[in-house]
A = this chain, B = another copy of it.
Amino acid sequence: MSCREESAATLRRAGHRVTSAKLLVIEALRHAEDHLSATAVIEQVRRDSPHVNESTVYRTLGALRDSRLISETTFGHGEVAYEWLGERPHHHLVCNSCGAVDELSDEIVAGFAEQLSRTHGFVADLQHLAVPGVCAKCANETAGR
């Protein structure tokens, strides 16, 4: 199955209609294999089809997020980043000092969620968490000084 057909099938499975705008947004995020800002997605989509309206992209991003096909994350203060959610859930460690974004497997986060369930009966929905802080490298440099 081609990449495009796969995207179409995913869309259909999630109850969306298969339109060129949605496909373009999905392709942009899949091929980026990284976080993209809304503006970057618009730019990428327009590289292929300049006529696509920006509000359509915003609406599509919101719809795909609600269907759990992509994640919407706020890194630090300001920008919203979108990312294709492929296989397993994952999370991010964002360094406030150097800006590095590291990946965090789901295990620790899942343990945290389980604790919340045990103690508060709260079923946490942590599919894509961005944890702010200071990375090991920056923490060392600061301590050394």
Q: Give residues in A with beta carbon < 8 Å to B.
A: 62, 65, 72, 74, 77, 93, 95-96, 102, 104, 108, 111-113, 115-116, 119-126, 131-136, 139
- B124/A139 in contact, CB under 8 A: no
- A112/B108 in contact, CB under 8 A: yes
- Select from chain B the residue with minimum beta-carbon distance to A105: B119
Given A122-B136, A123-B134, A124-B132: A108 in contact with B115 (beta carbons within 8 A)? yes
- A120/B132 in contact, CB under 8 A: no
Q: Which of A62, A102, A136 has the largest count of B CB atoms less than 10 A from its CB?
A: A136
Bound CA span A135–B117, Å: 9
- A131/B108 in contact, CB under 8 A: no
